[in-house]
Structure formats: structure tokens, C-alpha cells
Amino acid sequence: MTSILVVEDDDAIRSAVMRGLRERGHAVATAATGLAGLEQILQARPQVVLLDLGLPDVDGLTLIAMIRAASDVPLIVITAQDDDPTMIKALDSGADDYVVKPFGTDQVAARIRAVLRRTGRDLTPSILQVGGLRIDESSRTASVDGRALDLSRKEFDVLALLASRRGQVVTKRELLAEVWQQAYGGSDRTVDVHLSWLRRKLGESAAQPRYLLSVRGVGVRLVDPDAEDD
């Protein structure tokens, strides 16, 4: 469970984000103003902060600088401002990631996992087991039915991400954002190629999948081939 602070002045958005993250097992606190959020960061010390830029009492970019002067908490900007200059200013000011509204809770949850990994604060178990597939994140090794898999760095990252979200559809955009850190660009072809290589090493194909099931027009999900409910 990750402790998350959502600093957002819009009641509907704040409630929706809080509800969605709590449903996914996180502990979520909220603040409707920048200064209230800063106070909670200093007192409660959340593990991740989601910060809107359009706050009523203090400019979001100014608040990022204020937070960074007092804390190194991972910080993800959530805002409707999707222009490149604002994104660059936010990241240069100390934000760790940037999500443009409207967004889904799954996307935000994925960004949280990614930023925790990048900052070395991921507290999730290091062993992921899905059927005969075993992934050790601490040693970055994987095996299937006891057979070691010879994976490249990106192949391992893709497989570990999919296994961490067992049974859930992960979009190619999410894979590009988390594995390649290409949140605002990148080619789906890159993902397709790596999925093809992974399938071959897992002993399956797109036509005869076992673990990696494609969802046309959406993405891919990793399942236990022997579990009926997957």
C-alpha cells in the first residue's frame, strides 16, 4: 500500500482520483489548496504527491519549487495544461512526471508505480509469480516452467510490468511511458517488436498465445494459462 497525497481544487476530480486509488489498495489523503498540500507533505510525509497546477492560492510551478526546497517526495503533475512549455517548466522545476487531464485511474496508478521504481522507493514484493512464470525483480531474472529466460533489459521490464498487473489490459501507450519513458511520443511498433520477442522466448506466438493475450485496438494482458478465471 502506497500513501498518496492528491492536491487538487476540483471537488469532482479530487474525489474520483481518491476513490479510484483507494479501490486499488492505496492510502489516499487530499488537499484542495497548495498551502494545505504543502503542510500535509511536511507533516504526513506521503510516498507520492499528485499535484494540480491550477490551484486557487498559489501557482503550481511555484508550489513545486516550494515542495522541492523541503522534500524529495516523488511528485506527479496532474493538469489540463498540455502545452510543451508548461510540461518542460514543471519537469525542470522538480516534478518527476506529468499526466494530462482527462486521464484514467489505471494510467495514474501506472505512473505512480513507475516513479516509485525510478526513485528507488518501490516497496512491492520482488518476486512475481504467474502460473509457471517466475520473475525476480531484485535479481532481474525470469524463468518459465523452471527454464531460465534470456531477456534483454527492455524485455524484462515489459514482462515485469505486465506481470505486476496480471489479468489487466496494459495499453501500448502505458508500456511506452513506463518502460521507455516516452509519455508523449514513441512508436507502437517498438512495443510490438518486443512483445514478439517475448512471445518467442516464452514458447508461444500471437496466433497461439499462452501468457500474453492481445486485446485488439487496446493493448495486451498477461494471464496464467492454467487458471480458468483469467
Which of 83, 118, 153 delimits the end of a domain?
118
The mean per-residue pLDDT over the stretch 1-21 comes to 90
Question: Comparing 166 with 223, which gets the higher pLDDT?
Answer: 223
Question: Comparing 228 with 168, which gets the higher pLDDT?
Answer: 168
- Residue 103 banded pLDDT, cuts 50, 70, 90: confident
**Same domain, residue pair 109 and 210:** no
Residue 216 lies in a domain: yes
**Same domain, residue pair 74 and 32:** yes
Q: Which of 62-66, 103-107, 114-118 has the highest mean pLDDT?
A: 62-66
Check residue 185 and give its pLDDT: 57
Measured between alpha carbons, how far is 168 from 116 in angstroms, rounded to an integer? Answer: 20
Range of the domain at 147: 127-222
**Same domain, residue pair 201 and 143:** yes
The count of domains in the chain is 2
The mean per-residue pLDDT over the stretch 94-100 comes to 92
Residues 6 or more apart whose Cβ sits within 8 Å of residue 16: 105
Check residue 102 and give its pLDDT: 86
Residue 230 lies in a domain: no
Q: Are 87 and 98 in contact (CB under 8 A)?
A: yes
Whole-prediction pTM: 0.56
**Same domain, residue pair 12 and 103:** yes
Q: Evaluate if residue 125 carries a pLDDT over 60.
A: no
Residue 155 lies in a domain: yes
Check residue 148 and give its pLDDT: 96
Question: Comparing 76 with 183, which gets the higher pLDDT?
Answer: 76
**Same domain, residue pair 108 and 52:** yes
Q: Evaluate if residue 120 carries a pLDDT over 80.
A: no
Check residue 11 and give its pLDDT: 92
Q: Considering Cα of 140, then 144, then 146, then 148, what sign does the dihedral take?
A: negative
Q: Are 176 and 184 in contact (CB under 8 A)?
A: no
Measured between alpha carbons, how far is 102 from 27 in angstroms, rounded to an integer? Answer: 22
**Same domain, residue pair 111 and 215:** no
Which of 118, 150, 165 delimits the end of a domain?
118
Which of 77, 94, 118 delimits the end of a domain?
118
Residue 184 lies in a domain: yes
- Residue 23 banded pLDDT, cuts 50, 70, 90: confident
Tens of pLDDT, residue by residue over 41-65, are 988 889 999 999 999 999 999 999 9
Residue 81 lies in a domain: yes
Beta strand 170-171 pairing with 3-7 = unpaired
Distances from the Cα of 73 to the Cαs of 15, 48, 49, 128, 174, in angstroms?
Answer: 22, 6, 7, 26, 23
CATH code of the domain in which 217 resides:
1.10.10.10
Tens of pLDDT, residue by residue over 195-226, are 999 999 999 998 999 999 999 888 999 999 98
**Same domain, residue pair 192 and 169:** yes
- Residue 119 banded pLDDT, cuts 50, 70, 90: confident
